[in-house]
Structure formats: C-alpha cells, structure tokens
Copies of this chain bind each other. A is one copy, B any other.
C-alpha cells in the first residue's frame, strides 16, 4: 500500500486499512533526540469510531458462534508472527519510546508479550478461565461468556506487553471471545500499527472475522468518552494516567458499561530496622535496581519507601542516595512524561519534601532528568498524606523517615489504594511481629503484598494480581495480568436453567469437556457429569 508522504497513516476498520476520517494528525517524538518522527497519524473523528463499533458488533455475533479452538489458533499464530518480526518491532519501539533494545524490548518485553498471547490461547482452548459450574440437583449450570466488543487504551510504558492490540488486555479480551478496538497510545503509534498489521495477517490466516482487531490512533477526548459508553461496547480496558482514566470511567459508569482501569500507584515499600541492620547494603542495591529500572516508568515502580530513623536507616538512605547520584539518568518515554515528572517532583517539594539528590538536571537534547531522591519525616507525612502520595512517574522516589514502627503503621493506614506493597524484614525472624503489623496495615490497601522482594517484574501467573483498590484501579476484584484471571473482566456470568443438553455451551454439557476443570456439585473435576 502506498501512502502519499504528507497523508497520515490509515486506520484499520472492518479488516481494511483505509484513510481515517480526520481533521488533524499528530506524530510521535523520538525521546532520545527530542525530534518528531515520521510518519504522521490521524486523529479520527466520530465516524471512524462509529464504523469500528458497527464492525465490532457484527464481528462479535460471528465470534459467538466460533469454537474457542479457532480463537486459540489466532492468538498462537499472532504470537508466532510477533516473534518472527522481533527486530522490526523492537526498532520501532526503540525509536518511539527510548526503551533499551536489549535486554528490555527484545529479550524481556517481546517474549513476554508473545508468551502472554500463548497463555491466553491455552486458556481459551481449555475454557478453565470461565469457571464452569454445574449443579445437578437444580439443573442449573453457569459459565462466564464473552461480553461484547472491548475497547483497549494501552499505556505509554509497555509498547508490547500492554499494547492496545498486543498486550494483556488485548489477549484477555480476545481469549474470552470478544473483538477488540485498539486505541493506540499516542507515544508509539508506529509500533502499534506494526502489531495491527501482524494481527490482521493472523486473522486472515485463521479465518476470524476481519473486524476481530481494529485500530484507531487517536480521537478527541469527547469521542473517547462516547466510545466507552456506546451501547455496542461490551467493556473497556484502560491503562494510563489518572486524570484521563477517571474521565473515561465517569462516562462508562454513567452508561452502565464495565471499565477496567489501571491508574497511578506509588507502590509503598517498608523496611524494618532489623532488616536494614542485617542486610541494608544488599537491600539498597535491590531497591535502586528496581526503582530506576526502565527509568522508573513501571506501574509497580516502588516510589514511596518508609525507612526508620536511626543509624541503620541513615546508612540505607546514604547508600541509595549515592546510587541515585551515580546511576546514569535514563531516557524518559516522551516529552509528556518529562513534563509530568517535573510537575510531580515539584508537587512533592511544594508539599514539604527535601531533595537529597537530583530534582533538576533536565537535558535538552533528550527527554531525561537527573535521578531524584526526596525525603520527608513521618510527622510531616501524617500531616498531608495525600500530598506526599502524589505520583512522580519516572526516576524519582520519596523516602519517609519514621520515628518508630507505630508511626510507620499510622502512615501505612493512610495510604491510598496501590498495586503493590512490600515489607522487608530480617531473615532471622526477630522482627516478625513488627513485619506482621506492617503487612496487616498494608494488605487492605494493595493488590499484591510482597515480602523481601521488589514489586517490579509482574509475572504472568495464575496467582498474579496486577490490580488493587481504587485509585490504583477502578475495581478491587480484578487483575489486568495473569491468565486465567484477567479474562474474567471481559465476560458476563450466565446461568443456563433447565436448558436442553444439546443447546448448552459445549463446556457445560455432561460429557467431559476436553481439559476443562468444572465445579460439579461443589467439587472441581475434569470428569463427565454423573
């Protein structure tokens, strides 16, 4: 397909790449050089969204009739194509995000992305995810069924693994049986376009409805809000900033449409004094590796740490301060992230935090600023817990120095919802009671509670919860990562009452369904009914 140099890229609607109906366009920025990239991408008007919705609704009716096996094959074919096109995808993402080609993009995020699609395929094939439940006494059987077209708004920080047509929300939505309308993140449209091309090839190769995967690059905010509230939409997955996420949430909520949001999180980490006495240097190394990884641009970046007063705490803070000063400042994802980081740091300073290192050092030739470590004491934190929980997304962190364990607990009890919370304690177990108190205070406020381990690195595990109480996400009962759990977001519970055997979804019929675990009269089993 040949496109005039000045035309923005086409959108993918109903299986066709065609010029967008747009009044304006935009380009991504190469954050390593602070320069705009080619090509340009369209800002779609409502008519594009409307057509995509119509096509998605029709595709959904077709998908409802397909065997899960066919959806699994699509996901696997797509995963293979992603692996086969690794170099081109990595090049595109590097140009648009500045994330390291290796190991980050090529060796970590890309394999994670294709494996995530394969895990979703396995879940679709087995049907395990749908919690089939059979009650032979009443003749009622239930299972989670697909919900309808899913809109996916991907974030800027994981161009592959959370990408709107390649990532976790995408994989979960498709595996549960729904078509996806992807809204590319504006910071990496070319990367997203390349994924959509591969997806379209897989759709053709495996015979799925052409509109199973569609792609728009950008819309007005108003049209985004209209999209998530549209009657043709089943649900929305959004990962990104809090303010735009909450606007989408308000629109979806008002229309009674499920929306799953992953918003901001500062991911508190708390250290017992004994743990720092025992292995403060080791922990300092672990911490700085985690907090500066990917220039601090992880959803689970540990940006808020509680360190006890006293010598062990002083040494620990001195150690991480040195490491912050010594580590090279990574490139940030975009000019927008740089701006947000500066403003986040300024908010913390205005609230009363003191800069230990960094705080400035902006570089004009690329999107970057010095690694920044701030500190405040526990009393000040308790006076304005909300202010000191402001997120400074990027290579910055706030250390809260607390007087004693009791003050730490009081601070923890005032935390907002977060994706993760970590407690470090001594291996000897001498501080076990203290550690338990910290865990007790943290647990209701976090989606994942860790011991002696940093929160970055979100395993694609059946036991993973990449979620948490508001405002970390929009609902505390769901995870965005991990198969099979993540699929449940894009499904509706459906009971079949007195329905004839041959009209039931195959997974609910008497004969054993290939590989599916089913809850039959209270007992989980892979056997036939009766």
Contact = CB atoms under 8 A, between A and B. Distances in A.
A73 interface: no
B461 A138 contact: yes
A387 interface: no
A519 B64 CA distance: 28
A58 interface: no
A444 interface: yes
B463 A142 contact: yes
Interface string A483-516: 0010011011111111110010000000000000
Contact of A133 (B462, B478, B525): B462
Nearest to A253: B253
Contact of A465 (B436, B453, B494): B494
Interface stretch (A29-37, A150-158, A330-338, A469-477): A469-477
Contacts of A446: 494
B250 A494 contact: no
Interface in A434-461: 435-436, 439-440, 443-444, 446-453, 455, 459, 461
A18 to B, nearest CB: 28
Nearest to A145: B443
A477 B258 contact: yes
Nearest to A60: B444
A200 to B, nearest CB: 26
A56 to B, nearest CB: 14
Contacts of A148: 444
A256 interface: yes
Given A258-B477, A439-B503, A503-B439, A495 B463 contact: yes
A141 interface: yes
A135 interface: yes
A493 B519 contact: no
A364 to B, nearest CB: 39
Contacts of A495: 447-449, 463-465, 479
A522 interface: yes
Contacts of A84: none
A134 interface: yes
A467 interface: yes
A451 B503 contact: yes
Interface string A132-148: 01110110111011011
A435 B503 contact: yes
Contacts of A145: 443-444
A187 B144 CA distance: 36
A459 B488 CA distance: 24
A493 B477 contact: yes
Given A135-B463, A142-B464, A493 B476 contact: yes
A478 B492 CA distance: 8
Contacts of A525: 524
A523 interface: yes
A388 interface: no
Interface string A115-133: 0000000000000100001
A228 B461 CA distance: 33
A458 to B, nearest CB: 10
Interface string A245-289: 000011001111110000000000000000000000000000000
Contacts of A135: 459, 461-464
Contacts of A217: none
A476 B440 contact: no
A453 B498 contact: yes
B499 A258 contact: no
Contacts of A500: 451
Give the residue among A463, A476, A488, A491 with the most B Cβ atoms within 10 A. A463
B467 A493 contact: yes
A517 interface: yes
Interface in A365-421: 417, 420
Interface of A: 64, 128, 133-135, 137-138, 140-142, 144-145, 147-148, 249-250, 253-258, 417, 420, 432, 435-436, 439-440, 443-444, 446-453, 455, 459, 461-465, 467-471, 474-479, 485, 488-489, 491-500, 503, 517, 519, 522-525
10 contacts: A141-B463, A256-B471, A257-B470, A420-B497, A448-B497, A449-B499, A451-B498, A451-B499, A477-B488, A479-B495
Given A253-B254, A448-B495, 5 more contacts: A147-B476, A449-B499, A469-B492, A477-B488, A477-B489
